[in-house]
Chains A and B, each alone.
Chain A
Amino acid sequence: MAEQDIPLMAHLMRRAGFGASREELEQRAAKGYEETVEELLDPDQNEAFNKFRMLRYHPWTWKPGTMTGHGAGEWMHRMVATKRPLEEKMTLFWHQLFATGVSKIDHYHELSTMIDLFREKGMGEYREILMGMAKNPAMIYWLDNCENHGDAVNENWGRELLELFSMGVGNYTEVDVREASRAFTGWTLTPVPPRGPMGRHNWQFEYKDWDHDHDEKTFLGETGDFNGDDIIDIILKNPATSRFIARHLYNFFVADEPQVPAWSVTPPNDPEAIEAIAQALRDTNFDIRSALRVLFKADFFKEARYTRIKSHAEVVVGALRLVGGYDFPSPGIGNLSKEPGYMGQELLNPPSVEGWHTGSEWINSGSLMARINFTANLISDTSKPGIQNIINRLKAQGDLSPESFVDTCLDLMGPLNVGQEVKQELVDHAGAAGALKWGSEQDSAASTDRVSEMLQLVVSTRDYQYA
């Protein structure tokens, strides 16, 4: 059996999921890296989320209203409790790309339906995802395609389709935007009755051929009576699309890139990596699963340790998964789902269709304190199962020198590689109280407190802001 590469497995689980306990990492490492990647890419192998149990305990999740802002409660709970980490991580990836917000949609159920689509089709062929978005009622309303008529074209969806969802600025002209928009005329919503006593009605896609502009269009050099699906086919043939989506996958799974608006003028940090992912997309009919396989097995991925600043959602979900005990949909999932919002990433409510600024821009003086305090507060509760596990692993080593105490904590919380100065500070802090002992009840109580404090210091480090 190959040597267990725990750091590599921890890296994979942080990126392809929301982190994993040491137990889980050991099991997965025993299974093997390649096998684990395959398992992550095949979510059906693992238990699906129990929607009916969710509704039994939280009937409000069926049609959450907007006033309390709990509409992301179910989705965030799914991220915390999922047995299909990559499938759920992809919902976050696509939500950040097809950023749609309740501020305009005012219908959490429709947004959850969009998340469901990301879950179901998120690792499938990109054509299906784009078609799904073109026909998604929330997206149509968000980008005003319901105002896009044969005799009065609205370019919002057409533009963002090219700029944000497929090719990126610099790869098409304003004429292309217009022609694409013309092709999507008639792709609209059925009018919905006003809000009833049981909540909002569900929306439905409707194609109105009488409102569609059937005249000839010239789009990216091709001419014909194009309808929306033709536009998507042409887009997928264009090499810019594979590179753009590849760069998004790289930015989310491998390492922080500059902000998206800068992509047309700033080359990727690792053009070869982008090309490898893009090639995988081109070779497989834009199969996202295949691209992810290439990504997770590549050296450029395996070597990219702690090269991304965690998004606020990853901070919150990761911390909840780390301490454990949040698998069951207990009361309070609504309030918990607001935590990323306090930090600056309100789930299901991005500030615009461009989504959130990522990387170092997650951090400002308000969010840094919120991130650290949230995580430290959770970690400090030594009764939590995940913390108990850490304590038991420390105990199992017998009396520990300050250095070993710190090493073990850094290992179990990551493994984290902090700089020499930071390590020395932690060792000095541990050293003030001597060796970590568990012999007597008094020692045990004191050591438990010391572990809690040390873990709080660990999650306070700059290093812990990265994944």
Chain B
Amino acid sequence: MTSTKKDPVVVVLQLTGGNDYANTVIRYADPLYRDNRPGIGIPEGQELRIDDEIGFHPAMGAIKEMYDQNQVAIIHGVGYPSSPRSHFRSMDIWHTCAPDRLGTEGWLGRAALDIDPNKENVVTTVCFGPSIFRALVYPGVPVACVGNLDTYGMLPGVTEVDQRAKILDRFARMYVPAIGTGLVDDYLGQIGLDCLAGADILKVAPQLYSSEVEYPDSTIAKKLKGIAQIHEANLGTRIFYCDHGVFDTHANQLGAHDTLWTEVSQAVQSFFDDLREHDAADNVVMLLFSEFGRRLHDNGSGSDHGAGGVAFAIGDTVKGGQYSEYPSLKAEDLEQGDLVPNMDFRGFYSTVLEDHLGLDAKGIVEGEFEKPRFLD
């Protein structure tokens, strides 16, 4: 049985704060792991083994199940040279692919421009906020930045149906380009109208939605459920973005990291279950990344900012397994005490851009980088 070819969709789940690589994807049998993690090492036997060297964090059961179905690609040692180990700078670099200057344009903003150059669909890109992510920003490219999908729109406080219709109509009329206004007013007008149009399109999504899947009660689950609702409403959205945090576990890592990965893993599994229930999973690839990994040696109760990290790609079309190499844990191979990345994040992006979205990656990521081949 054939189906019409669906447009590829990417969902980015950003792990904000610097997710600890060494405790997410664990070299459980490596004495160097034990030596470096006296305070926060995951006790041997608790890891969820995927081979005789590597195991997932114990809270990642749901992800492990998906891994066993060959749907999860682990990309080892991602990053870029000379990381400043600063949240904002590092996240900016991941968002703009500009390690050497202050970039202001997002990689997915550029991708959206390639996907929809004539701005035919104002909900081509949707993020679950509360604020817009720089990865999505590009002049002229609209982004629907949703807080709560059920109430998304201008003036959500106006709830009575007729009143709402009138007030939004009035809003639209006030934003129409008028003679004699300047460039800035025109710009504001366009943005305002895009917001209205986007909200108008998205409002049907929760109304059309029904599912047997029960999502867990976490903020990330709510965001992913919202994404599922929009995706399943077939509104043409091609890029989804959301984040979860805070992975910045300088202290009390064992408890916090466990909770975070429980929340993420269960939410991601529910999300894909939901999509499969609606025959809507086959064109979706989800990316998980963080702005850096964390220092190999713990600080007693947590870990500090590091460099090389781990990323994941999840989906039906993903060739499950491990890609690139786990960086060496040997002291002489570390830089400033941190794992040295061996896979440039722009290569990770390139695989998604070219082999999933069908775009030309070079202009978007500003260069040619080795691609981990998880979508062949």
Contacts and interface: CB of A to CB of B under 8 A. Distances in A.
A465 B188 CA distance: 9
Nearest to B199: A369
Contact of B167 (A352, A354, A457): A457
Range for the number of chain B residues in contact with chain A: 35 or more
Interface stretch (B40-48, B124-132, B325-333, B340-348): B124-132
Interface in B154-172: 154-158, 163, 166-167, 170-171
B92 A363 contact: no
Given A369-B195, A460-B154, 6 more contacts: A103-B87, A103-B88, A359-B184, A366-B132, A368-B191, A460-B155
A352 B145 contact: no
B185 interface: yes
B194 A365 contact: yes
Nearest to A453: B167
Contacts of A419: 178, 180-181
B189 interface: yes
B192 interface: yes
A370 interface: yes
Contact of A425 (B156, B157, B173, B192): B173
Nearest to B195: A369
Interface in B263-285: none
Given A368-B195, A462-B175, A352 B163 contact: no
Q: Is the interface of A mostly helix, strand, loop or mixed?
A: helix
Interface string A66-92: 010000000000000000000000000
A67 B188 contact: no
Contacts of A344: 131-132
Contacts of B78: none
A456 to B, nearest CB: 6
B145 A369 contact: yes
A377 B89 contact: no
B70 interface: no
Nearest to A466: B184
Range for the number of chain A residues in contact with chain B: 35 or more
B319 to A, nearest CB: 35
A384 interface: no
Contacts, number: 117
B89 A352 contact: yes
A365 B180 contact: no
Nearest to B87: A103
A354 B157 contact: no
B187 interface: yes
Contacts of B10: none
Interface in A340-361: 341-344, 349, 351-352, 354, 357, 359-360
B131 A342 contact: yes
A376 interface: yes
A41 interface: no
Nearest to B136: A366
A121 B247 CA distance: 38
A17 interface: no
A426 B170 CA distance: 8
B191 A376 contact: no
Contacts of A462: 174-175, 185, 188-189, 192
14 contacts: A103-B87, A103-B88, A344-B132, A363-B187, A365-B144, A370-B130, A373-B155, A422-B178, A429-B166, A429-B170, A453-B158, A453-B167, A456-B167, A457-B167
